[in-house]
């Protein structure tokens, strides 16, 4: 009996195969990289900033939050739903601005809370859109990379087990595609364990940098509103409180040099995995390994073998 594979219409009409043919393998990344996920991270950033401001006694016009109200605000983050995302898109049709739509969405949500009206003027306080965006993207990449590292460590564990199991399995090594001196299959797999471990150390050492310093990076609006506050220190404290590293010198945008570091690290990891794949291909061609055959699968549309 042929198994019916469920594919919705959206998958079949997707422009990118990531959201179409390969959705089953990439669907877990939607919680980090979809537009809905970006909205959720923006909501998180706005809420965390509002709560942070309320906890600073020197900002005497910002209402202090009761524990109940704080919990209600923080509850918006895990409770963020696809219906919330649709509401933001609806607001964006009017604003023609995605970040402003998130701000207006939060105004609606907070206005419905007890004493919520008093908080409305301080949503998005002194922020430029990039303040919200750069933090949101940093958190997005940080969370997704932590997931990737877990998956990579599972791969390393598998390779390590195989390197031990095959430590005594002697074979002829090759250089330039030609026969060379003996090695073992276990040692060749251990090469990849070491290489991947080194690159994961580099990946995990990368600092996810962000800024919260206004329209051109100079705290202009902040200083006009509260000239006696040390906004440089306060901004750094906020960035650290959400698990990121502060970048104190920026223009309107955070320059994203750390993103280049992150992506170059991932490139090296992918190249190592590509080397592993090529070696496995060679071992199959030499008859050392055989591909697992499933009776229902077809390897060629024309060759019966």
The tens digit of pLDDT for each residue in 36-53 reads 999 999 999 999 999 999
The continuous run of DSSP H or E covering 111 comes out as helix 98-111
Work out the average pLDDT over 230-235. Answer: 98
Give the pLDDT confidence score for residue 3 in this predicted structure: 44
* Whether pLDDT at 295 is above 90: no
Work out the average pLDDT over 280-295. Answer: 90
pLDDT band (50, 70, 90) for residue 219: very high
DSSP string, 44-94: HHHHHHHHHHHT-TT-TTSPPPPHHHHHHHHHTTTT--HHHHHHHHHHHHH
Give the pLDDT confidence score for residue 4 in this predicted structure: 40
Active site residues: 176, 300
* Whether pLDDT at 5 is above 50: no
Percent of the chain past pLDDT 90, that is, above it, reads: 86
- The fold adopted by the segment(s) 28-125 is Fumarase C; Chain B, domain 1 (1.10.275)
10 Å Cβ neighbour count for 111?
A: 11
For the chain, residues classed under CATH 1.10.275.10 are 28-125
* Whether pLDDT at 7 is above 60: no
pLDDT band (50, 70, 90) for residue 133: very high
Give the pLDDT confidence score for residue 209 in this predicted structure: 99
Lowest mean pLDDT among 8-12, 112-116, 160-164: 8-12
For the chain, residues classed under CATH 1.20.200.10 are 139-288
Give the pLDDT confidence score for residue 183 in this predicted structure: 97
Give the pLDDT confidence score for residue 156 in this predicted structure: 99
Give the pLDDT confidence score for residue 8 in this predicted structure: 67
∠ CA 254-259-263, rounded to 5°: 165
The mean of the pLDDT values for the chain is 94
**Architecture of the CATH domain 139-288:** Up-down Bundle (1.20)
């Amino acid at each position: 009996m042929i198994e019916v594979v469920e594919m919705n219409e959206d998958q079949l009409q997707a422009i990118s195969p990531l959201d179409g043919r390969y959705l089953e393998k990439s669907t877990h990344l939607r919680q980090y990289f979809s537009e809905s996920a970006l909205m959720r991270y923006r909501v998180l950033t706005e809420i965390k900033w509002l709560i942070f401001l309320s906890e600073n006694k020197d900002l005497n016009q910002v209402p202090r939050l009761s524990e109940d109200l704080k919990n209600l605000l923080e509850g918006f983050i895990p409770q963020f739903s696809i219906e919330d995302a649709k509401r933001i898109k609806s607001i964006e049709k009017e604003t023609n601005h995605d970040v402003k739509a998130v701000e207006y969405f939060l105004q609606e949500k907070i206005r419905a809370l007890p004493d919520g009206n008093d908080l409305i003027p301080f949503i998005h306080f002194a922020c430029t859109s990039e303040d919200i965006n750069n933090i949101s993207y940093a958190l997005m990449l940080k969370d997704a990379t932590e997931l990737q590292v877990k998956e990579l460590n599972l791969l390393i564990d598998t390779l390590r087990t195989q390197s031990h199991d095959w430590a005594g399995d002697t074979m002829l090594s090759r250089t330039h595609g030609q026969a060379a001196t003996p090695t073992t299959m276990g040692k060749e797999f251990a090469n990849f364990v070491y290489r991947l471990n080194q690159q994961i150390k580099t990946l995990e050492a990368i600092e996810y940098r962000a800024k919260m310093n206004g329209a051109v990076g100079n705290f202009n609006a902040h200083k006009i509103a509260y000239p006696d506050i040390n906004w440089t220190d306060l901004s750094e404290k906020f960035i650290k409180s959400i698990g990121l590293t502060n970048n104190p010198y920026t223009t309107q945008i955070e320059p994203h040099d750390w993103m280049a570091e992150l992506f170059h690290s991932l490139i090296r990891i992918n190249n190592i995995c590509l080397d592993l794949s090529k070696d496995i291909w060679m071992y199959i061609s030499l008859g050392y390994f055989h591909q697992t055959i499933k009776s229902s699968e077809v390897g060629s549309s024309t060759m019966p073998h």
